[in-house]
Structure 1
Amino acid sequence: MADTAELKTDGRRNGKRRKLWVRIIGGLLGALVLFIGIMFIVNVISTKAEQKRIDAYGQYVQVDGKKMNVLIQGSGEQTIVLLPGQGTASPALDFKLLIDELIPEYKVVVIEPFGYGLSDRTDKERTTENIIGEIHEAVQQLGLKRYILMGHSITGLYSVSYVKAYPDEVQAFVGIDSSVPNQPGMDAKLPLRSMKFLQDSGLMRLLKAVSGNPYKSLDFDEHTKEQLNLISNQVSNNPTMINELKHLGSNFKNAEQLTYPKDLPVLLFAQSNNEHNKQWIPLHEEQAKQSSQGKLIPMEGPHYLHHTKYKEIAAEFKEYIAKIQLKPAQ
């Protein structure tokens, strides 16, 4: 009988413990749901309020029935069409330091693809074919016939297809730590749903606030730093950008055998301290050799080399262009 009584007592204790844990876990889950709900509301309110604080720049051109924003500065005889890396919130402002170094001698046209900067978003699939077609339509709307194609990161992937599609227009390609079509690891699955959740829930805004202003130590003026943050809160991980990431693996796969024409001048600035890809410099050396006038310039710095090495990039670019023979019209 004593054993039975002890068992009943232990059962009651275990039952109370279980109920206590259920209450604790339920309370924590409730607090988490409440926290996320508050963050969502704060994010919606803040996003709407911040829209009014963004200063317009550039001009719109009609592409595929939508508005694509472009920034044109400088009046030099030669034109540079400047394209951003994947996910760059505001290409025109992100390139500002480099643009200021180039415009005394060149006309610089920054194109903000759909989903970037002040451009509209689009539901059209973000395949390389669609992206370069839209960029080219913007170029045509601006009446550009011959130009140097310059770009950061993912532009290195799209540009090989762009040059192949429009060989009589591109006079040279300049890559700023640009992607290489045959670089490894681009078939990895990305946490797209998690990225979208972080943005939509407002948790991304919180993470940015905790981590501090990423532009604080850079040479941008304070107003530009503020605008970059405001636009980033508006466009980061939007559906168009997420769709581009969805197609990242297939876009690389479809381009892995593509190379630049032998007669196309190619200047590549590549991060020499890339710890994630030890083959980064050899890959760019190989790509530079595809051109009879190819040149690789390794630079130590962050992936966004134009944030810290903008003076060096501009100086090296001008020296290179002065020495080489630009691709003639076909």
Structure 2
Amino acid sequence: MKIREAITTKVSTRTSKILNILVKILGAIIIAIVLFLAIVYTVNLISNKSEQRRIEPYGQLVPVDGKNMNVLIQGDGEETVVLLPGYGTAAPALDFKALIDELSPFYKVVVIEPFGYGLSDLTKKERSTENIVSEIHEALQGLHIDRYILMGHSISGLYGIDYVNKYENEVSAFVGLDSSVPSLSERKIEASALRALNLLKKSGLIRLQMKLSADPIAELPFDDTTKEQMRLINRQNIYNPTQLNEAGSMYTNFKGAENLSFPKNLPLILFVQANHPVTDRWLPEHVNQVKDSVDGKVITFEEGHYLYRTKAKEIVENFRSFMKEIK
């Protein structure tokens, strides 16, 4: 009996020691994780403030809905081209640089940076198509621009089709740059996913992930100064509350535009990537958009979604030829 008790006591003591070791290890791991997250959070705060001071202003601020919207204007042609960015473009006025340089010898080029983009303010206002379109129009009204060609990339094709129906008397043509089509809806993003992204952004983990990942800006056809400014602005704007709101509103915005079409008499030219990596409906749906237009045309490029970065010269040449043909 005494031997059994001794063995039990010995086993119990050994188990207790093992448990104590495990608890200490677990505690050390928890402390290490907390310390790591605290360092990441602090570095993110310090970096954000430091990088804000290194961003070089460009364009001009226009009062819109009680806030400031950044707009870049280049060129002094008789006709005006208004450029609208795709979703999540960090600094539209910089990203469109090659296209602006090709357009500006012939047109007055106006690049709109919607709220949450580039150097524009953030907004808590719902990112519905109605609100976004209204804000863009208010910016142009503030600049006394009331006749123009609308040129939009990606998601701006969705906003653009609503815009030209509301302000048909102001828009003289629409140009799509691999623009979104209402019939090809984006997936619905759950609120929980958006909250998680917001938390990751605030924690600094998004910055860390970007630091450890390949730099998507490194290979862009821009000079080093422009690329560095794009990196700085991207780290400020990525997953900001305004852009997350827009992402959460996207499914509803697509559904709301399903029955919209471009006005029949509005000149319409769409530059489209020939081979979409996800859907074989991309090109046919764009062709479908122009089929009822009096002056409609689709031009394809063997390029990716951001075709205006590398095909700016070809885009402008084809666009100018199209505009001459319809006059």
SS at match of 2:111: strand
- In structure 1, the residue matched to 2:126 is 125
C-alpha displacement of 1:262:
1.0
Letter in 2 for 1:217: E
**Compared with structure 1, are the counterparts of its residues 82 and 204 closer, same or farther at alpha carbon in structure 2 (3 Å cutoff)?**
same
Deviates more, 1:298-307 or 1:171-180: 298-307
**Compared with structure 1, are the counterparts of its residues 315 and 6 closer, same or farther at alpha carbon in structure 2 (3 Å cutoff)?**
farther
Write the distance in 1 (CA, Å) between the matches of 2:281 and 2:27. Answer: 49
Contact preservation (8 Å) 1:43, 1:205: yes
Write the distance in 1 (CA, Å) between the matches of 2:104 and 2:278. Answer: 34
**Compared with structure 1, are the counterparts of its residues 3 and 165 closer, same or farther at alpha carbon in structure 2 (3 Å cutoff)?**
farther
SS at match of 2:112: strand
Contact preservation (8 Å) 1:76, 1:103: yes
Contact preservation (8 Å) 2:273, 2:307: yes
C-alpha displacement of 1:211:
2.2
Deviation readout 1:221-245 (Å, 9 max, x if unpaired):
1111111111111122111111111
Deviation readout 1:105-156 (Å, 9 max, x if unpaired):
1110001111111111111111111110010001111111211100111101
Listed as ranges, the matches of 1:75-94 within 5 Å are: 75-94=76-95
C-alpha displacement of 1:200:
1.4
Write the distance in 1 (CA, Å) between the matches of 2:29 and 2:305. Answer: 40
**Compared with structure 1, are the counterparts of its residues 188 and 195 closer, same or farther at alpha carbon in structure 2 (3 Å cutoff)?**
closer
* Count of aligned positions: 325
C-alpha displacement of 1:185:
4.1
Write the distance in 2 (CA, Å) between the matches of 1:239 and 1:6. Answer: 62
C-alpha displacement of 1:15:
4.9
Listed as ranges, the matches of 1:1-330 within 5 Å are: 13-189=14-190, 191-325=193-327
C-alpha displacement of 1:62:
1.0
Contact preservation (8 Å) 1:267, 1:294: yes
**Compared with structure 1, are the counterparts of its residues 9 and 222 closer, same or farther at alpha carbon in structure 2 (3 Å cutoff)?**
same
SS at match of 1:247: helix
Contact preservation (8 Å) 2:186, 2:250: no
**Compared with structure 1, are the counterparts of its residues 23 and 308 closer, same or farther at alpha carbon in structure 2 (3 Å cutoff)?**
farther
C-alpha displacement of 1:19:
4.3
Contact preservation (8 Å) 2:189, 2:247: no
Contact preservation (8 Å) 2:185, 2:255: no
Deviation readout 1:262-285 (Å, 9 max, x if unpaired):
111111122223222232112212
Contact preservation (8 Å) 2:77, 2:107: yes
Letter in 2 for 1:259: S
- In structure 2, the residue matched to 1:328 is none
C-alpha displacement of 1:36:
1.6
Deviates more, 1:307-316 or 1:159-168: 307-316
Deviates more, 1:229-238 or 1:23-32: 23-32
In structure 2, runs of 5+ residues without a counterpart are: none
Write the distance in 1 (CA, Å) between the matches of 2:9 and 2:273. Answer: 70
**Compared with structure 1, are the counterparts of its residues 89 and 185 closer, same or farther at alpha carbon in structure 2 (3 Å cutoff)?**
closer
Write the distance in 2 (CA, Å) between the matches of 1:239 and 1:203. Answer: 16
Contact preservation (8 Å) 1:259, 1:290: no
Q: What do you get for the CA RMSD once the two structures are aligned? A: 2.0
Contact preservation (8 Å) 1:186, 1:252: no
Write the distance in 2 (CA, Å) between the matches of 1:96 and 1:306. Answer: 9
SS at match of 1:173: strand
SS at match of 1:52: helix
**Compared with structure 1, are the counterparts of its residues 12 and 266 closer, same or farther at alpha carbon in structure 2 (3 Å cutoff)?**
farther
Deviates more, 1:257-266 or 1:29-38: 29-38
Deviation readout 1:133-182 (Å, 9 max, x if unpaired):
01000111111121110011110110111111111011111111111111
Write the distance in 1 (CA, Å) between the matches of 2:224 and 2:117. Answer: 21
Write the distance in 2 (CA, Å) between the matches of 1:273 and 1:18. Answer: 59
**Compared with structure 1, are the counterparts of its residues 100 and 233 closer, same or farther at alpha carbon in structure 2 (3 Å cutoff)?**
same
Letter in 1 for 2:70: N
Contact preservation (8 Å) 1:116, 1:235: yes
Write the distance in 1 (CA, Å) between the matches of 2:27 and 2:326. Answer: 69
C-alpha displacement of 1:186:
2.9
SS at match of 2:55: coil
